[in-house]
């Protein structure tokens, strides 16, 4: 545990502030770790020179007694956030040569706070996936392996590169985005913390759009405290995103250890699903016992429309995606097909070559549910269901302050295991999508290991803009679970 890369974000921050370690030293340790971890394929683009420059500038600020909340701390950025002058691919061939002329608001907030960029992390193409196998740049491998086999496992998706980078100690923390679970699900499968904030908490400006009414950026970290620190720096109201909301951003870290005494924790009965491995339910029951032992009041609640959440999501998200992805036409952005006959041929070939199979599937589903004749039957009904799902949460919150649920229906699975069957892949999102449809905040916290030694996560869901309570309850889970297992660094020998 003496390696610099094993520090948490909070520990590194304190060490840098106390001048026990310089940002350059810290950054060198991480650029080395990133390089040594290439077998994980967690990064699409490494930016070690830029990192070193940023670290030197940080050290200069620290020497002058200046410095922001994240001064000198090396982070990884999901390759969905536009970074000025640094290639941003969204995991897609169609953007494989796209160098943005501007910076996303969230990443700009991080640089303004003094953070250092190590590079851009691999992800499912346009954030569509639950295993990081749809990336044009190849799959990401989970740092964790099962005790019973050396098979390569998926890290979850779509923020799989960020999850692997945090879990494998290749960065202090990373950004992710969550449209239907893409922060929480990979966090759970990779044994780290992932927080999806309330819709509107972070600006979406400069984040490549998937489904605009669902997309939210959030922190992926090794501890709940680190998530609290990063969340504060990422959040802001932004005139360039009209859906960002002007509510004060509290010092989440300050309230973290206040405990859960008297907190009403709802247990949604619909999250008990047939066919889930018994370990998932057992961990959930353990979570209930932990919170109860710390003084929380446990209440049974019902979210009756939960079973409609997945079908609703897989209409709404593709519909918005089909519209958002219409801008990639080979003319204004990214890759352009060669040797074309005319403009229609250019559009068709550029899109056929540029988009992978899953993205094409979503565009076709989305276009279909929005087409005249089917719009009322699918899209309008999905919108109505979305309201009912959101209302379920409103009703539940009359009886409780947060909800406790599993984060995923299964632990990390083998690469290739679910790629042939999209529906089995979509089922990974069963516990995460309702939260996005309702726009609520939720955190996944590592809480235990399967008998094969793979991490499992629990999820705390909160009221809109109450990330503070979500983090506090997440911290209570973290304390009780005392999860400190780490993956063996097999990739260093690979």
Question: Toward ligand GLN, which CB reaches closer, 229 or 365?
Answer: 365
Tokens of 8: 């948490």
Q: Tell me the window of 56-64, 125-133, 260-268, 460-468 that interacts with ligand GLN (CB under 6 A).
A: 125-133
Q: Tell me the window of 147-155, 179-187, 254-262, 323-331 that interacts with ligand GLN (CB under 6 A).
A: 179-187
Tally the C-alpha atoms within 13 A of residue 480's C-alpha that lie toward its C-beta.
Answer: 23
**φ and ψ of 44, to 5 deg:** -85, -40
Among 179, 216, 223, 236, binds ligand GLN (CB under 6 A): 179
Least CB distance from residue 129 to ligand GLN, whole Å? Answer: 5
Q: Tell me the window of 22-30, 123-131, 333-341, 402-410 that interacts with ligand GLN (CB under 6 A).
A: 123-131
- 203 lines the binding site for ligand GLN (CB under 6 A): no
Q: Is the distance from CB of 134 to CB of 92 less than 8 angstroms?
A: no
Q: 218 has which bridge partners?
A: 176
Question: Toward ligand GLN, which CB reaches closer, 214 or 460?
Answer: 214
DSSP state at residue 87: -
- 130 lines the binding site for ligand GLN (CB under 6 A): yes
Question: Toward ligand GLN, which CB reaches closer, 182 or 459?
Answer: 182
- 182 lines the binding site for ligand GLN (CB under 6 A): yes
Positive/negative CA dihedral, 413, 419, 424, 425:
positive
Among 59, 125, 178, 279, binds ligand GLN (CB under 6 A): 178
Query: What span, in angstroms and rounded, lies between the C-alpha atoms of 336 and 331?
Result: 7
Least CB distance from residue 104 to ligand GLN, whole Å? Answer: 16
Query: What is the helix, strand, coil percentage profile of the chain, to 5?
Result: 40, 15, 45
Q: 116 has which bridge partners?
A: 74
Q: Terminus-to-terminus CA distance in the chain, angstroms?
A: 22
Query: What span, in angstroms and rounded, lies between the C-alpha atoms of 457 and 431?
Result: 11
Tally the C-alpha atoms within 13 A of residue 59's C-alpha that lie toward its C-beta.
Answer: 15
Query: What span, in angstroms and rounded, lies between the C-alpha atoms of 9 and 487?
Result: 18
Query: What span, in angstroms and rounded, lies between the C-alpha atoms of 407 and 429?
Result: 9
Q: 45 has which bridge partners?
A: 120
Residue nearest to ligand GLN (CB): 182
Question: Toward ligand GLN, which CB reaches closer, 210 or 491?
Answer: 210
Tokens of 162: 């960020």
Among 26, 34, 73, 127, binds ligand GLN (CB under 6 A): 127
455-474 footprint of ligand GLN as x/- string (CB under 6 A)? --------------------
Residues 68-97, interacting with ligand GLN (CB under 6 A): none
- 444 lines the binding site for ligand GLN (CB under 6 A): no
Least CB distance from residue 152 to ligand GLN, whole Å? Answer: 20
How far is residue 21 from each of residues 6, 26, 135, 165, 301, measured CA to CA in Å?
14, 7, 36, 22, 49
Among 67, 114, 119, 129, binds ligand GLN (CB under 6 A): 129
Query: What span, in angstroms and rounded, lies between the C-alpha atoms of 105 and 317?
Result: 23
Among 231, 317, 443, 458, binds ligand GLN (CB under 6 A): 317
Angle between helices 224-234 and 467-481 (to 10 degrees): 160
Residues 4-43, interacting with ligand GLN (CB under 6 A): none
- 158 lines the binding site for ligand GLN (CB under 6 A): yes
Least CB distance from residue 468 to ligand GLN, whole Å? Answer: 23
Residue the block writes with tokens 């250890």: 257
- Catalytically active residues are 78, 158, 182
Q: Tell me the window of 13-21, 178-186, 276-284, 415-423 that interacts with ligand GLN (CB under 6 A).
A: 178-186
Among 59, 429, 467, 478, binds ligand GLN (CB under 6 A): 429
Question: Toward ligand GLN, which CB reaches closer, 47 or 179?
Answer: 179
Give the DSSP H or E segment for 396.
helix 381-396
Among 21, 128, 227, 460, binds ligand GLN (CB under 6 A): 128
Residue the block writes with tokens 């905040």: 441
- 412 lines the binding site for ligand GLN (CB under 6 A): no
Total binding residues for ligand GLN by CB under 6 A?
Answer: 13
Give the DSSP H or E segment for 78.
strand 74-78
Task: Kindly list the residues in this chain that would bind ligand GLN in the complex (CB under 6 A).
Answer: 127-130, 158, 178-182, 210, 317, 429
């Amino acid at each position: 545990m003496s390696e610099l890369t094993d520090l948490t974000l909070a520990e590194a921050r304190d060490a840098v502030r106390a001048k026990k370690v310089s940002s350059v030293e810290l950054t060198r340790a991480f650029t080395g770790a990133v390089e040594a971890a290439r077998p994980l394929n967690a990064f699409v683009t490494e930016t070690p020179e830029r990192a070193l420059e940023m670290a030197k500038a940080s050290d200069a600020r620290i020497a002058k007694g200046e410095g922001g909340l994240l001064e000198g701390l090396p982070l990884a950025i999901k390759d969905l956030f536009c970074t000025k002058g640094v290639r941003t691919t969204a995991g897609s061939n169609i953007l494989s040569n796209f160098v943005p002329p501007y910076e996303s608001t969230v990443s700009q907030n991080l640089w303004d706070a003094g953070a250092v960029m190590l590079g851009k992390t691999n992800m499912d193409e346009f954030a569509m996936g639950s295993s990081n196998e749809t990336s044009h740049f190849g799959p990401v491998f989970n740092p964790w392996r099962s005790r019973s086999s050396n098979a390569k496992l998926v890290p979850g998706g779509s923020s799989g590169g960020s999850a692997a980078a945090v879990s494998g100690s290749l960065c202090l923390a990373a950004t992710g985005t969550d449209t239907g679970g893409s922060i929480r699900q990979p966090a759970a499968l990779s044994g780290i913390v992932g927080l999806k904030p309330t819709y509107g908490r972070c600006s979406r400006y400069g984040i490549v759009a998937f489904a605009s009414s669902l997309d939210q950026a959030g922190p992926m970290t090794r501890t709940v405290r680190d998530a609290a620190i990063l969340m504060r720096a990422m959040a802001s109201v932004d005139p360039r995103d009209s859906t960002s909301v002007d509510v004060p951003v509290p010092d989440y870290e300050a309230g973290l250890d206040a405990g859960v005494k008297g907190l009403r924790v709802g247990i949604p009965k619909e999250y008990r699903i047939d066919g889930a491995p018994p370990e998932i339910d057992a961990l959930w029951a353990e979570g209930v016992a932990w919170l109860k032992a710390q003084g929380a009041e446990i209440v049974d609640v019902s979210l009756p429309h939960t079973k409609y959440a997945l079908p609703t999501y897989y209409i709404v998200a593709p519909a918005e995606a089909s519209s958002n992805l219409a801008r990639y036409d080979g003319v204004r952005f990214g890759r352009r097909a060669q040797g074309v006959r005319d403009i229609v041929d250019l559009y068709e070939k550029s899109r056929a070559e540029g988009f992978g199979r899953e993205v094409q599937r979503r565009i076709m589903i989305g276009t279909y549910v929005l087409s005249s004749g089917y719009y009322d039957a699918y899209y309008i009904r999905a919108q109505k269901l979305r309201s009912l799902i959101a209302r379920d949460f409103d009703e539940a919150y009359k009886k409780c302050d947060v909800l406790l649920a599993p984060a995923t229906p299964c632990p990390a699975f083998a690469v290739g295991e679910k790629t042939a069957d999209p529906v089995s892949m979509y089922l990974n999102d069963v516990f995460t999508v309702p939260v996005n449809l309702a726009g609520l905040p939720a955190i996944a916290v590592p809480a235990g290991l399967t008998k094969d030694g793979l991490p499992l996560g629990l999820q705390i869901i909160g009221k809109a803009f109450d990330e503070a309570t979500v983090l506090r309850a997440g911290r209570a889970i973290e304390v009780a679970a005392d999860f400190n297992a780490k993956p063996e660094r097999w990739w260093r020998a690979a």
